[in-house]
Structure 1
Amino acid sequence: MPRSHRRRPEAAGDDSFERLLAGWKRTEIRRGVEWSVQPVGAERAVKAYTCPGCGGTIDQGVAHVVAWRADGVLGDHADLAARRHWHTHCWRIG
């Protein structure tokens, strides 16, 4: 019997989207400090945050970036806990 060439539906709970999203994470150097930067799409922005760049509100449903120190000065857990949500524009000019 010939094989089907149709894609199988992904199993519930499959984290392939999470893995894809994690692939967008990048490292940047700003003012001599290494940062991990990860974009957050509008559909995943489920809370409002205060942007440290401009002090304005990043509303729910607005795409933005999350940044945290990647150099491990305070330890990985502390650096991740200190992550901040930025307007994409504010991060670029900051």
Structure 2
Amino acid sequence: MARHNRPRRRDGEHEPLDFDRLSSGLRRTEVRGGHEWTVQSISALQATKSYLCPGCGLHVSSGVAHVVAWRADGILGDEADLAARRHWHDHCWKIGTS
């Protein structure tokens, strides 16, 4: 018999989908260079601006899927960490060290 990993709701109602969360990409935490980073994927449809990739120094053009990364353990707090986020090419983030 198949096993379900999600608990069943007893009242028979389904949890509503959080479309903002679904459309914003999945966030994950990674450790690099001894620091925790929050990493969020950005789809090609969500990429509406051009950014400078800190990994290669080239532009991440609008319409190109990429990742956004920011420190998750900075000493100045969450707001400062989020303000210091950077947009990386997927490949540059995978091979780079932060």
TM-score bucket of the superposed structures, by smaller chain: 0.7 to 0.9
Contact 2:25 2:42 in 1 (8 A): no
TM (norm. structure 1) is: 0.79
**Is the CA contact 2:39–2:67 (under 8 Å) kept in the aligned structure 1?**
yes
Q: Structure 2 length normalisation: TM-score?
A: 0.76
Partner residue, 2:14: none
How do 1:12-91 residues align onto structure 2 when only pairs under 5 Å count? Answer: 16-21=18-23, 24-91=26-93
- What's the offset of the Cα at 1:17? 2.4
Sequence identity, in percent? 65
**How many matched pairs?**
80
- 2:45 is paired with a residue of what secondary structure? helix
Structure 1: runs of 5+ lacking an equivalent: 1-14
Q: Which runs of 5 or more residues in structure 2 are unaligned?
A: 1-16
Structure having the higher helix fraction is 1
